[in-house]
Amino acid sequence: MNKPVIVSEEALAAPVLVPDPTSGSIARSAAAGPAYIVLGGISLSHFLNDTMQSLIPSVYPILKDSYALDFAQIGLITLAFQFTASLLQPLVGHFTDKKAQPFSLAVGMGATFFGLLLLSVAQQYLVILVAAALVGLGSAVFHPESARIARLASGGRYGFAQSVFQVGGNAGTAMGPLLAALIVVPFGQPSIAWFSSVAFLAIVILWRIGQWYKPQITTKKMAPPPAHPDAPSSRRVVIALVVLVALLFSKQLYVSSLSSYYMFYLIDKFGVSTQAAQLYLFLFLVSNAAGGFFGGPLGDRFGRKYVIWFSILGALPFTLALPYAGLFASAVLTVFIGFIISSATSAIIVFAQELMPHRFGMISGVFFGFAFGIGGLGAAVLGKVADHTGIAFVYQVCAYLPAIGLLAVFLPKMPRTAH
């Protein structure tokens, strides 16, 4: 009796097997190789999108001083910004699984455009919350469908395409604090309106990508492929998804603790200026962007499970040392933390997509949305803790979050019959 030959997990989501409205196009794309121009365009759009998003936490010190906000109120701004993205992304992904929307990205970016304009003129706390929520709405529309486009343009190199997509967003997140230090701090809150021109540029790029995407869409529905005899059972798939959610929780909550409160930590512990603190945050976010690029290709080559193990647990020694380090050592440690821990993102997302390839948009939305939601909820909770115990205690507690990476032992192998 012949036994099926098992190959590595990265081959699971073979494009010809995905019962997705774009599946025929994905198969043709795989044969032709990656569409680098499209990948570059969607990554650039992700860069612009996340640059604008990262402006919000970068201007927290300005908003805190201008409106006498406490840490809990700062956390609620992050929650408002990220809750809309968390709530709507799975719904957007579920809808686009049924009917792809090639121009929805440009339309969603319009919400970010108006959110920035509103934030630049907001004089009341409630208006700030509404502006933050509008930027989150733009993110909710952007991420699920743009992840699908990245996969469509991947040429079968799914981890590589996801990393190219992610590195654009991570670089944009890193750029926000630098632009805030150079522009918003000297010129004040009204200067946030200048960044609406960035949103307009993103709208133009995304409209062009939509024109490329539209003819790629096929309306022919494919029957679900037969289950591989050695594929994970439904129960194992559920367990794996829960584990991936827990791993993303540990990663994103720690990253949120740094992106939202690291500047306050440096100001409080070392007495640095706001601009200097923003530059230190920029160093962490740049390393976060660099690490995010390597996770996908390494997962394609060696297996995503190994990348996840290294990324989450590998950061633990550095996070444990951070609360006890001096200023220079803190900067060095956050560079290592950002580089190592961010390499998990692409591996986690592609692993989840491969577990349920017939629900690609919904799974992408759930995981992108969950990342935003955990970041927002975590920021609100950590802000409350910081108000009562001090900002230094937050980092002592968060230092243990990467230990959750031990749960990766429950992730299954991802077999496929070789041709």
- Would residue 145 count as lying in a domain? yes
Statement: residue 317 has pLDDT above 90: yes
| Residue at 336 is within a domain | yes
Any residues with CB less than 8 A from the CB of 404 and at least 6 apart, and which?
246, 247, 249, 250, 312
Residue 320 has pLDDT above 90, yes or no: yes
- Does a structural domain hold residue 2? no
**Of 302 and 329, more confident:** 329
Backbone angles phi, psi at 417, to 5 degrees: -70, 125
Task: Confirm if 386 and 306 have CB atoms less than 8 A apart.
Answer: no
CB 262, CB 388: distance < 8 Å: no
Does some domain include residue 360? Answer: yes
- What's the Cα-to-Cα distance from 373 to each of 97, 243, 256, 290, rounded to whole Å? 21, 17, 10, 23
- Domains in the chain, number: 1
Helix (H, G, I), strand (E, B) or coil at 259: helix
How confident is the model over 138-179, as pLDDT tens digits?
A: 888 887 778 788 878 877 777 788 778 877 877 787 787 778
Residue 357 lies in a domain: yes
Alpha-carbon torsion (403, 245, 167, 301), positive or negative: positive
**pLDDT at residue 34, rounded to an integer:** 65
Question: What is the sign of the dihedral through the CA atoms of 372, 262, 297 and 39?
Answer: positive
Domain that holds residue 232: 9-410
Q: For residue range 41-97, list pLDDT tens digits in order.
A: 888 888 888 888 777 777 788 888 888 888 888 878 877 887 777 777 777 777 777
Can you give the CATH number for the domain in which 233 is found? 1.20.1250.20
Amino acid at 326: G
Listed ranges 98-102, 190-194, 329-333; the one with the highest mean pLDDT: 329-333
Predicted TM-score of the model (pTM): 0.64
Tens of pLDDT, residues 356-398: 777 766 777 777 776 666 666 777 788 888 888 888 888 888 8
Report the pLDDT value the prediction gives residue 331, as an integer from 0 to 100: 93
Mapping DSSP onto H, E and C, the string for 60-113 reads HHHHHHHHCCCHHHHHHHHHHHHHHHHHHHHHHHHHHHHCCCCCHHHHHHHHHH
In a domain, 98, yes or no: yes
Q: Tell me: the pLDDT tens digits for 227-272?
A: 444 567 788 888 888 888 888 888 888 887 887 788 888 998 899 9
Give pLDDT tens digits for 273-297. 888 888 898 888 888 878 877 777 7
The verdict on residue 206 lying in a domain is yes
- In angstroms, the CA 258 to CA 340 distance is 14
Tell whether the model's pLDDT for residue 25 goes beyond 70.
Answer: no
For residue 1, the model assigns a pLDDT of: 46
| Per-residue model confidence (pLDDT) at position 107 | 84
Query: How far is 255 from 285, CA to CA, in rounded Å?
Result: 9
Q: Is residue 416 situated within a structural domain?
A: no
3-class SS letters over 185-239: HHHCHHHHHHHHHHHHHHHHHHHHHHHHHHHHCCCCCCCCCCCCCCCCCHHHHHH
